[in-house]
Amino acid sequence: MDRLANTIRPYAWGSTTAIPRLLGVEPTGEPQAEMWMGAHSGAPSRTARGPLDEVIAEAPEHELGNRTVARFGPRLPFLLKLLAAGAPLSLQVHPDRDQAREGYEDEESRGVPLDAPHRNYKDAHHKPELICALTEFDGLCGFRRPAEAADLLAGLGVDALEPYVDLLRARPEEAALREVLTAVLSADPKAMADTVTATATACTRLGGAYTPYAEIARAYPGDPGVIAALLLNHVRLHPGEALFLGAGIPHAYLNGLGVEIMANSDNVLRCGLTPKHVDVPELLRVVRFDAGAPRVLRPEASPAGEEVYETPAEEFRLSRYVLAEGAAPHDLTRATPQILLCTAGSVRAGDHKLTPGESVFVPAEEKAEVSGAGTLFRATVAV
Tell me the catalytic residues.
270
Label residues 151-177 b or e (16+ Cβ within 10 Å = b): ebbbbbebebbeebbebbeeeebeebb
CA distance 130 to 80: 10
Residue 247's Cβ-side half-sphere holds a number of Cα atoms within 13 Å equal to: 17
Q: How far is CA 336 from CA 70, 88, 277, 333, in A?
A: 12, 35, 37, 9
Return the closest-CA partner of residue 243 out of 254, 227, 231.
254
- Measured in degrees and rounded to the nearest 5, phi and psi for residue 15 equal -70, 145
Torsion of CA 370, 375, 379, 380, to 10 degrees: 30
109 class by beta-carbon count within 10 Å (0-12 exposed, 13-18 middle, 19+ buried) = exposed
Residues 6 or more apart from 359 whose CB is under 8 A from it? 3, 4, 6, 37, 45, 80, 339, 340, 341, 342
Helix (H, G, I), strand (E, B) or coil at 320: strand
Listed in order, strand segments (DSSP E) in 128-283 are 129-133, 137-143, 232-237, 242-245, 251-263, 269-272
CB environment 115-126: b (16+ within 10 A), e (fewer): eeeebbbbebbb
Asked whether 360 and 380 are in contact (CB, 8 A), the reply is no
